[in-house]
Structure 1
Amino acid sequence: MENIIMIKGNVTFNITLDPGVWIFDDRRVDLNTFFHSSNEDRDDLEEYKKSISKHWDREIMEGAVYPPTLATEKKFEKEKVLTGSFGLPLKPFLKNAGINEDAKYLFIELEDGEMKLPLEEGENLILGFSKEGKPLKDGGPVHIYYGDGSNEKNPIKSVKAFRVE
């Protein structure tokens, strides 16, 4: 149970987070490149259109049969998952918790105290859960990065829970 993190407080639903299964989540971001690329808000529909367009272009150029490159792409993706450093945005979890309208702050409960952030700033946090393919043991189960990457070298560690007030 030490790897479980709660979102609680002034929310409609208390949420339990288990970083151990996030490696399978499609929303994961690569922490090695995330803070060094442009971080404008992604439009999911636009991303979907781009991926479909890429697939369509491939079928036009190479034919509708599965080219041998797909096997190597799957191998590359598996290798990336096994050796990469990943995180997930906190915003979808806060949205699922149903933050009440009068809530203003996000408290991050740590082993040795707590941090207070405005809710808008808290929604931009990234929860790092994997470093070089391994779960975070030292200071884990998650490390918190600000959305702008300003604490990329020194993330917030030893997170126990999130409390909305």
Structure 2
Amino acid sequence: MIVQLTGKVNYQITLDPTVWIFDDRKIEMENAFTDSTDLPEEDSEEALKRASTRWEREVTQQSSKPPVNRSINRFEKEQILKGTYLMPIKDFLKTAEIEAGASQARLVLNNEEKIISLPLLKDSLFLFAENGKPVKENGPVHVYFADGSNRDEPIKGVTKIIIE
């Protein structure tokens, strides 16, 4: 249930999608492909509050204090454990530090390989949890493009990403 990120990167990393369920960067499937202008006013205010909270956390992390995870109440935990979630890939690619000559990514699937452009990969999302549980069928992750163009047919069964 891991995904390896290798190839033309300064740091090869191994991703464990099973630990992302409580990560603040995750996005609910229902909200992943909606245009922010289509959201009701209350949702825009809520998004602004979340962005503000994230900004404060970033500022706090840059100070000398160690980061502190926000505690969640029981209701929030129950809701999290029922949702379907996606994780942006860009943070992991940034951590791996892609080399300058890289232009594409080879996605190694359970039984085949697919090649996509690096810009397309950078804006993609990993589906890592369905109904609060890790993706088991054709897992560990599915890749969705940020524009939603492959929403009905994501790239399933990604076990390794090789930057070329």
Identity %: 38
What's the secondary structure of 1:48's corresponding residue? helix
Q: Which residue of 2 aligns with 1:17?
A: 15
Runs of 4+ in 1 over 6 A off after TM superposition: 49-52
Q: 2: distance between equivalents of 1:149 and 1:75? A: 32
Shift of 1:111: 1.8
For residues 77 and 149 of structure 1, the distance between their equivalents in structure 2, rounded to whole angstroms, comes to 27
Tell me the equivalent position of 1:147: 146
Return the TM-score normalized by structure 1: 0.76
Structure 2: unaligned runs, 5 residues or longer: 38-47, 57-71
Choose the corresponding residue for 1:48, options 45, 52, 56.
52
3-state SS, counterpart of residue 36 of structure 1: coil
Asked if the contact 2:108/2:159 (under 8 Å) is kept, the reply is: yes
**What does the per-residue CA deviation read over 1:111-149, in whole Å, with 9 as the maximum and x for residues that have no partner?**
222111111111011001011111111001111111111
The answer to whether the Cα contact below 8 Å between 2:105 and 2:118 also exists between their aligned partners in 1 is yes
Query: Aligned AA for 2:15?
Result: L
Who wins on radius of gyration, i.e. which is larger? 1
Whole-Å separation in 1 of the counterparts to 2:126 and 2:17: 9
When the two chains are superposed, the root-mean-square deviation of aligned CA atoms in Å is 2.3
The two structures have a TM-score, normalised by structure 2, of 0.77
User: Cα offset for 1:151?
Assistant: 1.7
Aligned partners of 2:99, 2:55: CA distance in 1, in Å? 35
User: Is the aligned partner of 1:124 residue 2:123?
Assistant: yes
